[in-house]
Structure 1
Amino acid sequence: MSENGPSGVLSKALAVLQAFTVDDTTLGFAELQRRTEFPKGTLHRVLGDLVAAKLLDRVDGRYRLSGLVFELGMRASVERGLLEVATPFMEDLYVRTHELVHLGVREGTEVVYVAKMGGHRQAASPSRLGGRMPLHSTALGKVLLAHAPDDVRDAVLHGPMERRAPRTITNVDVLARQLADVATTGVAFEYEESAVGIVCVASGIFGPADEILGAVSVTGPVHRFQPSRHAAGVRAAAAGISATLGRRAELRRH
């Protein structure tokens, strides 16, 4: 196969991506050429393809790995554990509700959607696989925020809170009360806070040391879905995922 064929293109793209390191997250064209040893024309084409594919970001004439690369890597690691265990519980939630089911994890002050399950009649949620939303604007995010380290909670509560929809909660006192309720009840609710017409209920997934690993939710349109009616089912699914992860961890120790 020629070097311009699929394998040649892929190997060149991989060489460019591997030129970045933990310490060198942003590189200029000259440094990328030095590290890859590609001719200028070849490197220009590969960089253009990677930017177009959203695997690289071009900022002020320099290049850096995009958020998509990180999210794909994170999802790959999540799929080996959390997603594998969560899938049958998510399927059960979907069968019970026939509404949109999500699995999310926290990254900084955002929730990242790592799984999404639903049919043709599902609500038009703004979520997408690998996509992100502010923690304060979704039920998934509120669960993750309620159990996040103190510095993360403080950053959200005392920082600017983006208004994603007219009903997004941006009042510190209101959000703080909701987070306290989440810690007590084990569930969080969203009422048209991430998008108009969308309501949701979520519950947290915990590891063997009671650390929060993620959250699962059911989302539906406001005209037919009543989150409170499904709170027990979502909480039970999250508890089932947590218990299964705990049993797996115990088996690995033995």
Structure 2
Amino acid sequence: MTEKDEVEKEEGGRRGESIQVIARAAAILRALAGQSDGLSLGQIARRVELPRSTVQRIVGALAAEQLVTVGRTGEGVRLGPTLALLAAAAQTDLLSVAQPHLEALTRRVHETVNLSVFQGNQAVCVAISQSERELSVRSFLGSSFPLYCTAHGKALLAEMSDEDVTRLVGSRIEPLTVNTVRSLPQLLAQLREVRERGMAFDLGERTEGICAVGVTLRLATGPRYALSIPVPSLRFEAQLPMLREELLRCREDIEAAAGVALRPAASFVGKPE
């Protein structure tokens, strides 16, 4: 092997190690998402399936950049302030990218379209394209919606593990209509169906007379978003095949425009029961 070959091999090895470290750091950050009380190094190690010593070393590097914060005893690792700044910048950029596609979707389906962001234990509406039809669903920027009984909320929950959903939602679920889930096991069963279909539904579960279909945006980093189309119940079922197709098309258009789609799309099977 020539000296040049040895140098190239060494450089390739270093690049591979760097990529591995980045992937591991990203896995740790994802494990901390939604953990308001933080996680211990041991808990993180179990979730990302890495040695505790490796996790400790990566957490130390992330803390130096304020991507995470660490309690005085080394426990309670949480996402740091730098991520909040990056997320805010990403949100601003994404909203400007998404708005024309929301409006294009409204023109195609003649219904209101919402873009919501996961925040705390709710979904908050951050962008709207309002339908001009006389009978349509009105949406308002900044409105907060429960996760367990809305299409966009269930789409967001379905990306979480049952364990994380249980911690976030808790065992007490307030029924808002006769169609709202009544228990955590019932909700978890619905979320399994959402994962299989790749799409979530609200069948009059938050507001009587209003149904909706929703999907998440498959973004690499930053806040978690969901698209939804709320529709008066009287025309929802007849329009469902078209709504489903156009919603997925809109998601693909936004992801392509943002250039940040990473997670594989889940396949859609069947229709809501």
Same-fold call, TM > 0.5?
Answer: yes
Contact 1:144 1:212 survives alignment (8 Å):
no
Match of 1:53 in 2: none
Match of 1:106 in 2: 118
Give, in angstroms, the shift of residue 75 of structure 1: 10
Q: Which runs of 5+ in 1 are unaligned?
A: 1-72, 250-254
SS at match of 2:253: helix
- 1:116 and 2:128 matched: yes
- Matched residue type, 1:87: Q
TM-score where L is the length of structure 1:
0.60
SS at match of 1:218: strand
* 1:189 counterpart (185, 190, 201): 201
The structure whose residues are more often strand, as a share, is 1
Give, in angstroms, the shift of residue 202 of structure 1: 0.7
> Could you give the per-residue CA deviations for residues 95-141 of structure 1, whole angstroms, max 9, x where no partner exists?
1111111000111211101112213425345x421111110110010
Q: Which runs of 5+ in 2 are unaligned?
A: 1-84, 263-273
Distance 1:111-1:152 versus aligned 2 partners, 3 A rule: farther
- Summarize the alignment of residues 38-77 of structure 1 with structure 2, pairs less than 5 Å apart: 77=89
Match of 2:104 in 1: 92
Match of 1:11 in 2: none
Q: Percent identity?
A: 30
Distance 1:176-1:149 versus aligned 2 partners, 3 A rule: closer
Count of residue pairs brought into register by the alignment: 175
Match of 1:204 in 2: 216
Q: Distance in 1 between matches of 2:95 and 2:255?
A: 12
- 1:139 and 2:151 matched: yes
Match of 1:225 in 2: 236
Contact 1:99 1:218 survives alignment (8 Å):
yes
Match of 2:252 in 1: 239
Q: Distance in 2 between matches of 1:88 and 1:138?
A: 24
Q: Distance in 1 between matches of 2:87 and 2:223?
A: 17
> Could you give the per-residue CA deviations for residues 178-205 of structure 1, whole angstroms, max 9, x where no partner exists?
2122222221111111101001001110
